[in-house]
Amino acid sequence: MASSSAAASGKSRPECINSSNPFHECSDYCLRKIAEAKERIEDEQRPPVDRTVHPDCINASNPYHVCSEYCFKRIADAKSGLERAEQEPPSADAGKSDAAQAEGGGGDDDAEQEDAGSDDGYPQMTEKQKKLFELRLKMNEARKANQQAMVAEKKRMEPRAESRGVSKQKWLEDRKKKIGKLLDSNGLDMTKSYMLDTQESAEAKYKKWEKEPAPYGWDVFNQKTLYDAYKKRTKNIEVDMEAYNKAKEADPEFYRDASSLQYGKVSKVPEENIDRMVNELKERDEKRKAFSRRRKFHEDKDIDSINDRNEHFNKKVERAFGKYTLEIKNNLERGTALPD
């Protein structure tokens, strides 16, 4: 009844994987998938009923642990070590020292050792076994740290994969592998993959699509493009409004026009503003020199230039007049244009 009422209301359940999609409405299929996921989680959290665990195993408190041959071997070694220690007769010197320690308050030390052994997590292990176990744990931690460092170093040394030149078919195959499980679980195909997008990712896509293209040709010099470039250059400039208002009050003809007698005269400009303008022009010139778009180099191409600047000029001439001079160029290369 609950599933039918939720499906009829046309609302999205918070447990649904598509709940972030504002246009998604849960159906019977979604409710069935939610119920199956809850049952799977309960089965995973439920501890196993039939287990084979030795009571002397150090992992007996773990409800998911099942003793193997390794556990039984460790238990047998520990018991044999305890029996061997009990069968060894104490030496005379050891007896005297033990008696002296017992007279001097050795009972307190024994009680402290017993308390320390019980406070550890391994009451059935001897001191040597505990030390050996701790050493093995440290060795495992060091091995894992070395493995992680080796993988990180390998990633740093390997060159980054080139994103250009990837075919659309390969890109679709990689994308299908990533979201194939989600599509299969929701009964969708690749054409409906946009239904899995969240609100944030969808807004980012739309914003990218709505982005205006870069100016091309004569549009580079129109008023809008020049104004956008001006805003970009003045974006990081700090304006001192107090000094600006003082200068405007001191000069009655601060905004001069062609009919003003002060037309052509420059008002006093602080040295800091001049230095700031010079620094901005230098930075702009350095950025222009450093900017360079990466171009593919063809080794088999004929060399028809003497330097980079001449090569760039030849490319521009070829784009403009190449189709008109193609026949003349071929005749000159073959030698058919020369007189007999």
* pTM of the predicted model over 0.85: no
Judged against a pLDDT cut of 80, whether residue 280 lies above it is answered with yes
Mean pLDDT of 38-49: 71
Dist CA 20 CA 13 (whole Å): 10
Dist CA 162 CA 294 (whole Å): 13
Average predicted confidence (pLDDT) for the chain: 76
Query: What pLDDT is attached to residue 313?
Result: 92
Judged against a pLDDT cut of 80, whether residue 49 lies above it is answered with no
Judged against a pLDDT cut of 60, whether residue 241 lies above it is answered with yes
Judged against a pLDDT cut of 50, whether residue 2 lies above it is answered with no
Judged against a pLDDT cut of 60, whether residue 325 lies above it is answered with yes
185-199, 239-253, 289-303, 304-318: least confidently modelled range: 289-303
Going by pLDDT thresholds of 50, 70 and 90, the confidence category of residue 7 is very low
Judged against a pLDDT cut of 70, whether residue 126 lies above it is answered with yes
List, for residues 91-112, the tens digit of each pLDDT value: 444 444 454 444 444 444 444 4
Mean pLDDT of 45-57: 67
62 Cβ contact partners less than 8 Å away, ≥ 6 residues apart: none
Does 13 or 213 have the greater pLDDT score? 13
Query: What pLDDT is attached to residue 278?
Result: 92
Going by pLDDT thresholds of 50, 70 and 90, the confidence category of residue 310 is very high
Query: What pLDDT is attached to residue 94?
Result: 46
Judged against a pLDDT cut of 50, whether residue 8 lies above it is answered with no
Does 107 or 15 have the greater pLDDT score? 15
Dist CA 282 CA 288 (whole Å): 10
Does 117 or 172 have the greater pLDDT score? 172
76-80, 126-130, 151-155, 213-217: least confidently modelled range: 213-217
Rounded to the nearest 10°, the torsion over CA 11, 14, 16, 20 is 80
E strand segments, the chain: none
The position carrying tokens 């003809």 is 253
Mean pLDDT of 54-79: 79
* Domain spans in the chain, listed from the N-terminal domain onward: 168-209, 220-259+267-290
Q: Which of 198, 143, 189, 190 is nearest to 16 (CA)?
A: 198
Mean pLDDT of 191-199: 80
List, for residues 159-177, the tens digit of each pLDDT value: 665 555 556 777 777 777 7
Does 235 or 119 have the greater pLDDT score? 235
The answer to whether the Cα torsion of 263, 267, 273, 275 is positive or negative is: positive
Distances in Å between the Cα of 12 and the Cα atoms of 46, 215, 236 are: 29, 44, 46
Going by pLDDT thresholds of 50, 70 and 90, the confidence category of residue 294 is low
Judged against a pLDDT cut of 50, whether residue 40 lies above it is answered with yes
φ, ψ of residue 58 to 5 degrees: the values are -70, -20
Helix (H, G, I), strand (E, B) or coil at 83: helix
Q: Which long-range contacts (CB under 8 A, 24 or more apart) does 325-330 make?
A: none
